[in-house]
Structure 1
Amino acid sequence: MKILNYLAVTALMLALVPGIAMSDAIAPPLTNLPTTPSEAKAQALAVAKKFATPGTPAYLDAVMAAYQHLKENKSLNTLTKAEVSQTRFSAAIKNPQVLKELIYKPEMINPDLSVDTDQDYPTVVKIVAPSGAWCTGTLIGHHAVLTANHCSCIGLPAQIETGASPTVVGNVTASHQFKPLDCASFMSLTGPQQVAALDKLGGDIAVLTGSDELNPGSYPLYQLGWSAGDGPQFTMVSYGTVFPASSEAKWQGTVIAAPCVPPTGTQAGCGQSELLGHPTRLASANGGAIADICSGDSGAGLLTGPLSQPNRISAIVSRSASGVPAINNQCAGGGGVYEEITPAVVSWLKQFTN
């Protein structure tokens, strides 16, 4: 993947897997814009010490403020205390386990890469309904796309698009739900009611199929299945919204997720075989760093395996953890809830993996 000369998205990459080394890059002068992710990280970690003490939420926020500054193509010698104080990234982390890890291991926050060639993650696709609403999905067969159950409600037939600058490869015309969801009733609900319905469903997983060949390049497909040893670090590739609006139709980041515990003070619920976690975006609709799922992320897979080449889907994005709409929610804060691909799900999916 080509490294952009700006950092449009930040991924949290936690070194909990043996063999993942910290960056040993030397920070170039803060008057210079970095040219690689390792240089950007070295600069951000260095400049953050001017504003806060390492090992504190304030230092984590300062690192994120530095990445935000770099995203705007500004050298870090011009980063101000006001910018740092306006970044409340740590407050968005509602899972205490995740927050603790990030506070004590901020050196593992890495700048992310845009997916800007059609050969990167080619089986991750965009599902576009007639209304223009969209979700993310993953090919699991020549005619089948794995996605979230509620994505089956955005309207069929839906176009399947792939590539960094998405092109249409075919259509899907039928939905197959792991657990029954009445789409007409679901789409008539308010945002918090939609989330409550998905909480109750406890299996926000579906497959969309059609007669069109959706993998004409015969790209290798991901393995399927959750393992007890998976996580808390996952790769996520999505067509979800990036703010402010940019040309990055498809992006790759990292989700840090742990067994689901409903965050305090929200309407979200989660249960057995679900995770609560946080992908990150540097800029939200209102500016600043956030740790959240956004519009279009629904159905994206959490990928497990070597960071350079993940090979298995462990879980998929279900919903926001903040009691906001499951579809077109933009970015609401609070992270997301993810459905594990349990043995029961794997068994059910076998009928579509051709």
Structure 2
Amino acid sequence: MKRRTLLVTTLAVTAALNAPAALAQGKPIRIIVPYAPGGPIDVTARQLAERVKDSLGVVIIENRPGGGGNIGADAVAKAAPDGLTIGIAAVATHAINPWLFSKMPYNAATDFAPITQMLRVPNVLVMNADTAARLKINTLADLIAYAKANPAKLNYGSGGKGSAGHLAGEMFKRDAGIFAVHIPYNGGNPAQLALLSGQVDFNFDNLATAAPNIKSGKLKALAVTTAKRSPALPEVPPVADTLKGFEIDTWWGLVAPAGTPKDVIARYNQAFVAALNSPETRTRYAALMAEPAPDTPEAFGAFMKRELAKYERVVKASGAKVD
């Protein structure tokens, strides 16, 4: 009995030593989402928190919207590196905003410890179906050819200066060697309504948002912006088939404050990657047109570094500033 008791005690101590600080202390883990409740980032974070409760214990979601995501990201950066607080890093907070805002409350490159990428959501180049038919545009090559033959006759809408749609449009114009007038709207929904009503010729929209109107025939999808075809829209080729190297999409992942112990990061990576790879999670995310993209902390860190460098060029070329 003494030997058995000693064995059980040893196993318990070993488990406690291998667990993150949050688990060892019996305290809940907090995931800070830098956006309002109800959006795709918030929804997927809550779904993931539910999936890891057996391995990590209680995980609560705290929404800290504002400042284009900067307020919530800064809260993660300033949190104690004890494993109790992690947060969402998104393309806006960790790749676009550092070049869009003249003053940033955090350093996207040094204030965070990557855990894993969560998801990538393709963007899609869409035209009003009637406009595409009238201009005889059936492919991306047709659109580029029309723009070159009719300088300054095309325009495109976006959810605002510095938005993903705006930057994708500027990157497309640069790589295709064409010009189209940018018309910013106050958010993605007004931009989509403008496209549906024929006020603008094309948009780069989030696939999850555009999909219902693509399926109904109101919008014509010319290309997705991921490097490869999207499983959610397999019949639509990527822009990269026409413009080599073109790749721009929406992504988000999990990070901790810089200085969080490596064993804590490793334990969290193990738990979240397992949850992201589960069939149930993949099925639920597929409904949002989102593709799980779990990876190692090192791979996610290298990816964010590349994205930060890429968007420096794109944002500076666009001239976009929000303050």
TM-score range, shorter chain: under 0.3
TM-score w.r.t. the length of structure 1 is 0.23
TM-score w.r.t. the length of structure 2 is 0.25
Give the structure with higher Rg (CA). 2
Q: Which has the higher contact order (CA 8 A, sep 6+)?
A: 2
Higher strand share: 1
